[in-house]
């Protein structure tokens, strides 16, 4: 979506350098979603864009992952008119806390900020199924993966922004001795 790419560029969300991604992989591009998420007007636009992707579906709950998914799940849920909750990582695993509930049979829309490997989305789908609920679909802000993962339900993306990433032992930037910056997740997988 051209509008989202323009917003990302103008807000400084696209960074170049040598980065360790949340997945553990290395890349020369980092997408700093919080340059978008620090602006409430942009967050509201993103919520509308995400909700529009599944506007013909009955949705009981919108689920995101802490931390970026908190704002996105809330604003998407606000547009849909349902509750927005988030899972957070505890002991390396995404789970519901703070009294959040998903009821058996609930139809759940999963929102994700940035997909690189899809590992967090897989975990969110597992959380939904663990409660006997139905993952209606997944909508992500940016898909930076090289190949599209199959999460077992419809997946929609606001912006496809493929970026090359490498396993640490295959990283050409490491071989050149370029210092690495680690951003993102506050707790290890």
**Lookup: tokens for 55:** 């506007």
Distance between CA atoms of residues 35 and 112, nearest Å: 16
Higher-confidence position of 189 and 38: 38
Say whether pLDDT at 189 is over 50: no
In a domain, 189, yes or no: no
Sheet holding 107-115, edge to edge: 93-96, 83-90, 61-65, 107-115, 134-143, 155-160
In a domain, 188, yes or no: no
Percent over 70 (pLDDT), the chain? 97
Residue range(s) defining the domain that contains residue 145: 2-182
| Helix spans in the chain (H) | 2-11, 34-37, 40-52, 68-80, 119-130, 172-175
Residue-level pLDDT at 185: 53
* Number of folded domains that form the chain: 1
In a domain, 187, yes or no: no
Q: What is the DSSP letter of 183?
A: -
In a domain, 112, yes or no: yes
Residue 102: give its domain's CATH number: 3.40.50.2020
In a domain, 100, yes or no: yes
Q: What is the pLDDT of residues 57-114, one digit of tens each?
A: 999 999 999 988 999 999 999 999 999 999 999 998 999 999 999 999 999 999 999 8
Helix (H) or strand (E) holding 18: strand 14-20
In a domain, 106, yes or no: yes
Query: How much is the average pLDDT of 8-34?
Result: 89
In a domain, 77, yes or no: yes
In a domain, 109, yes or no: yes
Could you write out the DSSP letters of every residue in 97-145? -TT----TT-EEEEEEEEESS-HHHHHHHHHHHHTT-EEEEEEEEEE--
């Amino acid at each position: 979506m051209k509008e989202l790419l323009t917003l990302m560029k103008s807000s400084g969300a696209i960074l170049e350098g040598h980065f360790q991604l949340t997945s553990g992989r290395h890349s020369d591009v980092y997408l700093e979603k919080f340059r978008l998420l620090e602006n409430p007007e942009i967050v509201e636009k993103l919520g509308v864009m995400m909700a529009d992707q599944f506007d013909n579906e009955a949705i009981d709950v919108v689920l995101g992952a802490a931390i970026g998914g908190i704002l996105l799940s809330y604003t998407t849920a606000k547009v849909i008119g349902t509750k927005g909750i988030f899972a957070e990582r505890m002991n390396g695993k995404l789970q519901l806390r703070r009294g959040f509930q998903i009821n058996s049979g609930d139809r759940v829309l999963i929102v994700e900020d940035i997909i690189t490997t899809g590992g967090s989305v897989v975990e969110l789908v597992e959380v939904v199924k663990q409660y006997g609920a139905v993952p209606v679909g997944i909508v992500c802000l940016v898909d930076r993966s090289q190949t599209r993962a199959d999460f077992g339900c419809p997946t929609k993306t606001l912006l496809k922004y493929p970026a090359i990433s490498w396993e640490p032992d295959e990283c050409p930037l490491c071989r050149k001795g370029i210092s690495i910056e680690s951003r993102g997740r506050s707790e290890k997988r």
